[in-house]
Amino acid sequence: MKNYVVKKLIDQKSIEEHVKSVAAQISDYYADKDPIIAIVLKGGFVFAADLIRLLDFPFTIDFVGASSYAGTQSLGDIKFTKDLDKPIVNRHVLLVEDIVDTGLTLYKLIHALKTREPASVNIAAMLVKDIPRPFDLEVAYRGLNIPNEFVVGYGLDYNERHRGLPYIGYVEFPEEK
Ligand code: IMP
Ligand code: MG
């Protein structure tokens, strides 16, 4: 593997403040809806763990894992690596995701879940990369905007490493500088 260093991008205090503000927005909308909070594997679990501890209303936790096939023609192609445990028909679903990069995975996931006729599906993402997207992906609870860098920590990995970092860093390859 290439040499790299991890440089701090977002510190713990900023993450904490951001999670608090998202929790307040989510509470406004979902307090009387008994939502299914669907954590998108794997990266969404750290953000979700902090978020749900700030929510003082009833909800159910579920997990979903999905991978999208790059290079296929149909935007509908998605493979569930872990499907939701329970039906979502007539339920309010909140997907909790680590990062919106191209947004393709979430785009396909949302479409797949909508065919199951939930009452609503929204996205809460911790981070959103500041890049143009060729399709419309509505992120109801937008995370912090970050530049187009590869980031790790707070659930996010590089080759499965660094998910446990309490801050968010970006990966830098010194030989490419
Ligand atoms: P997408 O391009 O938005 O479909 O991203 C799919 C998934 O790739 C995200 O949910 C993350 O798990 C992962 N990913 C995208 N960008 C990064 C990054 O900068 N660091 C770590 N994982 C990433
Ligand atoms: Mg992810």
Q: Which of 28-37, 52-61, 77-86, 152-161 has the lowest mean pLDDT?
A: 77-86
Cβ of 109 less than 6 Å from ligand 1: no
Q: Give 52-90 pLDDT, tens digit per residue.
A: 999 999 999 999 998 866 544 455 578 899 999 999 999
What residues are paired with 19 via a beta bridge?
Answer: none
Instruction: Report how far residue 149's alpha carbon sits from residue 129's, in angstroms, rounded to the nearest whole number.
Output: 8
Instruction: Report how far residue 34's alpha carbon sits from residue 46's, in angstroms, rounded to the nearest whole number.
Output: 21
The reported pLDDT for the residue numbered 177 is 59
Tokens 């707070």 locate to 154
Enter the tokens of residue 120: 């609503």
Averaged over 86-112, what is the pLDDT?
95
101 is catalytic: yes
Domains, in order of start, for the chain: 5-172 (3.40.50.2020)
Residue nearest (by alpha carbon) to ligand 1 atom 19: 150
Say what the pTM is: 0.94
In 3-state terms, what secondary structure has residue 63?
strand
The reported pLDDT for the residue numbered 143 is 87
Averaged over 173-177, what is the pLDDT?
75
**Other beta carbons less than 10 A from residue 64's beta carbon:** 23
In 3-state terms, what secondary structure has residue 25?
helix
Active-site residue, selected from the candidate residues 11, 56, 85, 101 = 101
Averaged over 31-56, what is the pLDDT?
98
Instruction: Report how far residue 9's alpha carbon sits from residue 65's, in angstroms, rounded to the nearest whole number.
Output: 27
The reported pLDDT for the residue numbered 72 is 44
pLDDT at residue 169 tops 50: yes
The reported pLDDT for the residue numbered 40 is 97
Residue nearest (by alpha carbon) to ligand 1 atom 11: 99
Cβ of 6 less than 6 Å from ligand 1: no
Residue 42: closest CA among 174, 177, 159: 159
